[in-house]
Amino acid sequence: MRHIEIKYQNNNCDIIPDLMLNELISSKKLKQFYRFSEQRWITVGSDRIRGIGGSYSGPERRTEDSHEIGTFLEEQEAECVAEMNRITSELQRMVQEWKQTLDNLRDRLSNSKF
């Protein structure tokens, strides 16, 4: 899968799978994307874009539909949630260990004679 550099309307930059480009262009969320074949930024709304007044005679490189993109994003989200849950559990375990250590230190201090 290829990736494309993009600029959103708010000028934030990102790198996306090329399969998402059509969807983002249609949703009017993009300001520009980098067309590697021309080594330049393409401005949505002023430069010619395939499917929006432009023509393209080369091989189709964006064949998967938005359903497959949605599935990909859902899988990525599920992986992130699982990793966040793993990290949260590990942090909770560490906090419990620290609390136990602190309690032990308090007990030792209270039992010691100064």
How big, in percent rounded to 5, are the helix, strand and coil portions of the chain?
50, 25, 25
Instruction: Tell whether the model's pLDDT for residue 66 goes beyond 90.
Output: no
Q: What is the mean pLDDT of residues 3-24?
A: 89
Judged on CB neighbours under 10 Å (0-12, 13-18, 19+), 16 is middle
Q: 28: closest CA among 15, 9, 46, 14? A: 9
Q: What is the mean pLDDT of residues 29-50?
A: 87
CA separation for the pair 15, 6 (Å, rounded):
6
- Between 15-19, 63-67, 70-74, 87-91, the lowest mean confidence (pLDDT) is in 63-67
76-113 confidence digits (pLDDT tens) = 888 888 899 999 999 999 999 999 999 999 999 988 77
Instruction: Tell whether the model's pLDDT for residue 59 goes beyond 70.
Output: no
Q: Is the pTM of this model over 0.85?
A: no
Question: Which comes out higher in pLDDT, residue 106 or 74?
Answer: 106
Q: What is the pLDDT, as a whole number, of residue 41?
A: 93
CA separation for the pair 67, 76 (Å, rounded):
14
CA separation for the pair 103, 105 (Å, rounded):
5
Q: What is the pLDDT, as a whole number, of residue 57?
A: 62
Instruction: Tell whether the model's pLDDT for residue 33 goes beyond 60.
Output: yes
CA separation for the pair 34, 15 (Å, rounded):
10
Judged on CB neighbours under 10 Å (0-12, 13-18, 19+), 32 is buried
